[in-house]
Structure 1
């Protein structure tokens, strides 16, 4: 048995020096690849992703020596126990080249309970074609844990509060939409960043800016994956978020069901700039697409509102029960969702814009939420907010954002 394991490790080491990882190897953990070298080597050679035993993170399956020499840490075994599950992790000032890596806050997993040092934390992802041997068109960012100081009047940063920024991605920058920066509570969210596959010499910088030095309990663990241009898991153009499951939930950035923060022994020590009634609202200046991958033999998608409080009515006021009167000619200002060709189950109304305090495919004010259907592919929701925040916390009526459940309907 020992000789068998030793032979497998030797064979693995030889083959991995010649074989480039395919998107199946990197993005379909736990599934059998289509190109089988032989039934014995397949589980070790081609299942490159693994789940770390110590913290449930995703890593890469490789020999222990290769893991340690490349800057990773061993977090369990894989490949029938003969290989190591290698996890890559870095914090401020780190420069990484691996496909599967984590950007964490200093002294993670402990909270940063005071001021952050350094106040501007920069994590660099260098796309090295000698290591990642396929053209990369996107970077997927998963906010496994993410808690920064909340926005102020709808904006992150601006020398007032924290911000998470990206440099080097064409669809995430300070100079234009859809996103200029993120902050607050983002745990469980994800985004896709577009990168030029030809410009591998240009690094991607992930930046957490706490230069305002407000005292807050901060913490982040951000998973980073490089997606090949020909991968079936590449998000369609214009999609900042991309959901591939048959059913799931979609929520606005910074969405929470309760107002945050609340001053206790474990929450901010200095929150004079934070209003507890607006701390958990959605952000200003958003303009992005949320896409859902259509599964085979699916003819429609249904959206149901678990909670919906997104802007005031473009047609009237933000009185409870009001909502958007939808036409294709409405002005672009205001906060609203666009569901192209949204309708009810009977297709009796065609409603494309949704806002206010009720989510319903009706042309008049609705008193309750109702399901919205779309029979047109691709399945996408566009999120738009303007640059006006309601600063008066007494009239904002919370405006928590939205939490929608989607379900794909079989033919």
Structure 2
């Protein structure tokens, strides 16, 4: 499926019903306009198979995001509702984002609802390059992906990414 409009939702087939079909679901996010450089993915709801005992998504459902520049996010599995992710799309007007769910087995009640927002290059609403999570409020809580399940299941392994915070005294200045 291809999406070009800003503020679009990616939904599992038959949403809000759970999706039990194995295989892949791939979404192509095309830039709404040529000067888009960053996408923010708000995972309103996202529940996939939990990671294995080593915290890995191997032989499990997972979400992976890539760009034409070769940037690939860490694999996400488990429960990631209410988290967000920033992904650098790239400055080339024809660059796009590829969001792929790899789904294993038929027993899992999996579902996703992800809001995709696109931001122009240089906007003060986006973090510096390389920040996958970006927080701008004066207070709040931040967690690593799948953290809600960390008591019952192993925390996700191989999470090598940056979490960034905007200094409120300079909220109108892009760093």
- TM-score, length-scaled by structure 2: 0.88
Q: How does 1:152-171 map to 2 (within 5 A)?
A: 152=52, 153-156=54-57, 158=58, 160-168=59-67
Q: Does 1:137 align with 2:137?
A: no
* Aligned residue number for residue 238 of structure 1: 130
Change over 3 Å in CA distance of 1:257–1:146 after alignment to 2: closer
Q: 2:27 aligns with which of 106, 116, 123?
A: 123
CA-based RMSD of the aligned residues comes to 2.2
The Cα of 1:126 is off from its aligned counterpart by 1.6
Q: Which runs of 5+ in 1 are unaligned?
A: 1-93, 174-178, 260-276, 299-377, 379-411
Task: Give the secondary-structure state (helix, strand or coil) at the position aligned to 1:248.
Answer: coil
Task: Give the secondary-structure state (helix, strand or coil) at the position aligned to 1:296.
Answer: helix
Task: Give the secondary-structure state (helix, strand or coil) at the position aligned to 1:256.
Answer: helix
Q: Does 1:197 align with 2:91?
A: yes
Change over 3 Å in CA distance of 1:208–1:244 after alignment to 2: same
* Aligned residue number for residue 290 of structure 1: 163
Superimposed CA distance per residue, residues 361-385 of structure 1 (whole angstroms, 9 cap, x where no aligned partner): xxxxxxxxxxxxxxxxx9xxxxxxx
Q: How does 1:184-223 map to 2 (within 5 A)?
A: 184-198=78-92, 200-210=93-103, 212-223=104-115
Alpha-carbon distance between aligned partners in 1 of 2:3 and 2:111, rounded to the nearest angstrom: 20
Superimposed CA distance per residue, residues 78-136 of structure 1 (whole angstroms, 9 cap, x where no aligned partner): xxxxxxxxxxxxxxxx2111111010011111122xx316x200111122xxx52x511
Q: Per residue, is there more strand in 1 or in 2?
A: 2
Q: How does 1:11-410 map to 2 (within 5 A)?
A: 94-112=1-19, 115-116=20-21, 119-127=23-31, 131-132=32-33, 135-152=35-52, 153-156=54-57, 158=58, 160-168=59-67, 172-173=71-72, 179-198=73-92, 200-210=93-103, 212-256=104-148, 259=151, 277=152, 279=153, 281-296=154-169
Contact 1:161-1:214 within 8 A present in 2 as well: no
Alpha-carbon distance between aligned partners in 2 of 1:292 and 1:171, rounded to the nearest angstrom: 25
Task: Give the secondary-structure state (helix, strand or coil) at the position aligned to 1:251.
Answer: coil
Alpha-carbon distance between aligned partners in 2 of 1:282 and 1:172, rounded to the nearest angstrom: 23
- Matched residue pairs, number? 171
Superimposed CA distance per residue, residues 58-86 of structure 1 (whole angstroms, 9 cap, x where no aligned partner): xxxxxxxxxxxxxxxxxxxxxxxxxxxxx
Alpha-carbon distance between aligned partners in 1 of 2:30 and 2:83, rounded to the nearest angstrom: 23
Contact 1:140-1:192 within 8 A present in 2 as well: yes
